[in-house]
A and B are shown apart, each in its own frame.
Chain A
């Protein structure tokens, strides 16, 4: 069974600083994908970034990058140059490559950006 672990308590970061949100996962599959979603206080789920298990390069999307360490089964999200609008809940998720695959989420991390 797949498992996603996000254990950090609420995180705080100063505006314009970088922050790393931790995510570890457990799976017996060789082919899988890792996702990060953002949920602001308004409640919608916003896709941020995706990393495939066979991707050799770490994924990047603007200010977001994913620090993928396959041997350690970690997929940490790095947000550079934090902005006040980055204050939100962040979820790590994993999906296997099966034909009927589903997305499994972690419990989430709350990030607060201080001015």
Chain B
């Protein structure tokens, strides 16, 4: 199994508070991704990274920021959490372009009250 760790795995917070989710990999893979999963929407890309300090937006990036200061860590930050950001967040990694299978973390369930 690919070495991916997401933390925290579960978090409950209140509207307006900042939240940071961490994705840590031990595979030295170049690409890292943050997705959110919501019923009826599948997995939607929030942000991704193709190298240290190289990041780009996905389709649902509003309200989120990311940072990647070293290969192994990709942080997702909600500056001011809203109830619409209640979701399950998945981190994924890949070592190359095509074919480039993605390996997923176990997910982080975030509830914003």
Contact = CB atoms under 8 A, between A and B. Distances in A.
B97 A101 contact: yes
Main secondary structure of the interface of B (DSSP, over half): strand
Of B41, B98, B102, most A-chain CB atoms within 10 Å:
B98
Contacts of B106: 43-44
B48 interface: yes
Contacts of A98: 97
Given A43-B106, A44-B106, A105 B100 contact: no
Interface in A63-109: 91, 93, 95-108
A103 B102 contact: yes
B79 interface: no
A105 B42 contact: yes
B92 interface: yes
Interface string B74-111: 00000000000000101010100111111110110000
Contacts of A44: 104, 106-107
Contact of B42 (A33, A35, A52, A108): A108
A50 B43 contact: no
Nearest to B88: A43
Nearest to A91: B42
A32 B94 CA distance: 15
B42 A103 contact: no
A61 to B, nearest CB: 12
Given A45-B104, A99-B50, A102-B58, A52 B98 contact: yes
B13 to A, nearest CB: 20
Nearest to A92: B42
B98 A95 contact: yes
A47 interface: yes
Interface of B: 33, 35, 40-45, 48, 50, 54, 56, 58, 88, 90, 92, 94, 97-104, 106-107
The 5 closest A-B CB pairs, nearest first, are: A45-B104, A107-B42, A105-B43, A100-B50, A33-B98
